[in-house]
Amino acid sequence: MWMLSFIPDSFLHLVIILILCAGAGIYVLSLFFNFAVPLIPYKEPARILGTLLIVAGVFFYGSYDTEMRWRKQVEEMQAKVKAAEEKSKQANVKIVTKIQTRLKVIKEYKTVYKNQIKEIATKIDSECKVDPDAIKILNNAAKEPPEKSK
């Protein structure tokens, strides 16, 4: 069936119509063979040939129609996939932009809070001394927990 794609559609369609018309024509003509005595022996072969051509023509017409519908489906699917890929790219750009903006904001806030701590550093350091054990506990808590629980 794939070989059909190499033949121009209009030519294929024309050939199929010609086969169908030839079949129908021969069959109809064979009905009049009774009126011409010399043609009577050719009546049956002509009817058989006409019928075979009609059968072949209808089969080819069916195949042609399926082929055309198939090509249309492929084209539609390709267009859908292309549109989805474009949409997906746009969504990616949108998400990446959002991430970059968020990262920037998080960094800005971090700087603001660090500066605020610097401003009150003298005050809080004079009022409170942190026990080294507390630092150890906090550092341990910051570490990734092992896979097995205690």
Partner 1 sequence: MKKLLLVTLLLLVGCASKSVPVTQKFPTVPDELTTPCSDLKDIPENTDKLSVLAGTVVSNYSLYHDCKMQVDSWNEWYITQKKIFEEVK
- Binding footprint of partner 1 on the chain (CB under 8 A): 1, 51, 54-55, 58-59, 61-63, 65-67, 70, 73-74, 77-78, 80-81, 84-85, 87-89, 91-92, 95-96, 98-100, 102-103, 106-107, 109-110, 113-114, 117-118, 120-121, 124-125, 127-132, 135-136, 138-139, 142-144
Q: How far is the CB of 141 from partner 1 (least distance, A)?
A: 9
Q: Could you tell me the CA-to-CA distances from 80 to 21, 66, 75, 76 in Å, in that order?
A: 39, 21, 9, 6
- Cβ proximity to partner 1: between 37 and 112 the closer is 112
For residue 10, give the amino acid letter.
S
Q: How far is the CB of 38 from partner 1 (least distance, A)?
A: 25
Q: Are 42 and 26 in contact (CB under 8 A)?
A: no
Q: How far is the C-alpha of 26 from the C-alpha of 49, rounded, in Å?
A: 7
- Cβ proximity to partner 1: between 37 and 128 the closer is 128
